[in-house]
Amino acid sequence: MKNTKSSTIKKCLAVLLSLTLVFALAACGSSDDGGDANTNGEKLKIGIMQFGEFTALTNATNGFIDGLAEAGYVDGDNIEIHQLSAAAEAANCPSIADTLINENSDLILAVATPSASAVKEKTTTIPVLFTAVTDPAGSGLVESNDAPGANLTGTSDMNPVAQQIALGKQLVPNAKKVAVMYCSSESNSKIQSDLAEAAIKEQGMESVVKTVSAIDEAKSAIESLKGQVDFIYIPTDNTLADGMTSVSAAANECGIPTIVGESGMVGNGALATYGINYYELGKTTAAMAVQILKGEMEPSIMPIEYQTDENVLEVAINTETAEKLGITIPDDLAKTATLLPAAE
């Protein structure tokens, strides 16, 4: 009788031990997928500050959110995303940074240089990713683009400036003088302006630099160039991109073609670009975020990433603008370019 009772107890203990092991393994397995909650069992908090609402930055943000979702980090499911806009006003950035930090964000995405600069000044502990920043090291965001050295890293939207100038020459083959126009307060634009001046010289043309301090100066600046230049080059300048509809309208009225930094500006009336895909840039940034959220990498040792794949870079031409300016699109360009109508 004793042996039977002992045997029964041993069998029960074995069953309980097996069940405990099964539940333990199931619990371990459930934590392997993306989007794991933080150590308190709460959803991870992702803060996003987007500098302005224009196309390039919106595409970058959407690419980031979609990239996180594809990796298993889904807003409202296992993460909470709080997205705020600075409405293209640098003065709004510090308070937005404070908000995202005070909400105990587990990671912050800063879209464009003014956003990243504001967050950098506010935290040295929260991991911060940026995107749509032309030269992070040159803008003082990181120690170097190869080794950021602190809590910030991300992706650059450095443009193929030389190819953009070459595109302008292809569309305006008799061009001899080119204006480079940007907002004087934007360091990233100055970097691109310097590259553009060198490219213009290499193409055998003369350059003239025209800066503005605010969007309401753009119209008069463009009008002063009428009859003086053969086309205007505008980089990925946040101020001018935000007001591109009025900028392109002024240029088109003066009969001056505009070669710009990205396709969203072409959609808003500029003539053409050879540029990067901001949605894909956002997805690249998301892949970096996933590594940080999983604890696999730290921002300090993650090099800045760039979009260099020619399969992603694209020519975009506004056919309505070309027609208005009397510009014939070469057949080889027409076959491969993305042809966009002007925004209404």
Which of 16-20, 253-257, 283-287, 297-301 bottoms out in mean pLDDT, i.e. has the lowest?
A: 16-20
Would you identify the CATH topology of the domain 161-275+313-340?
A: Rossmann fold (3.40.50)
- The predicted pLDDT at position 40 comes to 64
- The predicted pLDDT at position 31 comes to 38
- The predicted pLDDT at position 336 comes to 92
CATH number assigned to the domain with residue range 44-157+278-301, chosen from the 4 options 3.20.20.220, 3.40.120.10, 3.65.10.10, 3.40.50.2300 = 3.40.50.2300
Percentage of residues in the chain having pLDDT higher than 90:
85
Mean pLDDT of 168-176: 98
pLDDT at residue 306 tops 70: yes
Helix (H) or strand (E) holding 317: strand 314-318
Which of 39-48, 97-106, 272-281 bottoms out in mean pLDDT, i.e. has the lowest?
A: 39-48
Q: Which pLDDT band, with edges at 50, 70 and 90, does 8 fall under?
A: very low
Count CA atoms closer than 13 A to 92's CA, side-chain side: 10
- Phi–psi pair at 329, nearest 5 degrees: -85, 120
Higher-pLDDT residue of 70, 17? 70
The number of beta carbons lying within 10 Å of the beta carbon of residue 22 is 10
Burial (Cβ within 10 Å: 0-12, 13-18, ≥19) of residue 209: middle
Residues 317, 319, 322, 324, CA torsion sign: negative
pLDDT in tens, 232-245: 999 999 999 999 99
- The predicted pLDDT at position 38 comes to 61
Which of 127-136, 157-166, 266-275, 307-316 bottoms out in mean pLDDT, i.e. has the lowest?
A: 307-316
Average pLDDT over the chain reads 90
pLDDT at residue 53 tops 90: yes
- The span from the CA of 62 to the CA of 39, in Å, is 27
- The predicted pLDDT at position 24 comes to 41
pLDDT in tens, 253-288: 999 999 999 999 999 999 999 999 999 999 999 999
Does the fold of domain 161-275+313-340 match that of domain 44-157+278-301? yes
pLDDT at residue 118 tops 60: yes
Q: Which pLDDT band, with edges at 50, 70 and 90, does 91 fall under?
A: very high
Q: Which pLDDT band, with edges at 50, 70 and 90, does 13 fall under?
A: very low
Mean pLDDT of 138-150: 96
Alpha-carbon radius of gyration of the chain: 26
The C-alpha angle with vertex 197 and arms to 192 and 202, in degrees rounded to 5, equals: 125
- The predicted pLDDT at position 312 comes to 84
- The predicted pLDDT at position 39 comes to 55
Percentage of residues in the chain having pLDDT higher than 70:
87
- The predicted pLDDT at position 32 comes to 41
In angstroms, the Cα distances linking 39 to 42, 100, 298 are 7, 20, 18
In the chain, where the domains are located:
44-157+278-301, 161-275+313-340
Mean pLDDT of 203-214: 97
The number of helices, as runs of H, and strands, as runs of E, in the chain is 13, 12
Q: Which DSSP category does 305 fall into?
A: B
pLDDT at residue 18 tops 60: no
Mean pLDDT of 185-212: 97
- The predicted pLDDT at position 23 comes to 41
- The predicted pLDDT at position 308 comes to 83
Contacts of residue 253, Cβ cutoff 8 Å, sequence gap at least 6: none
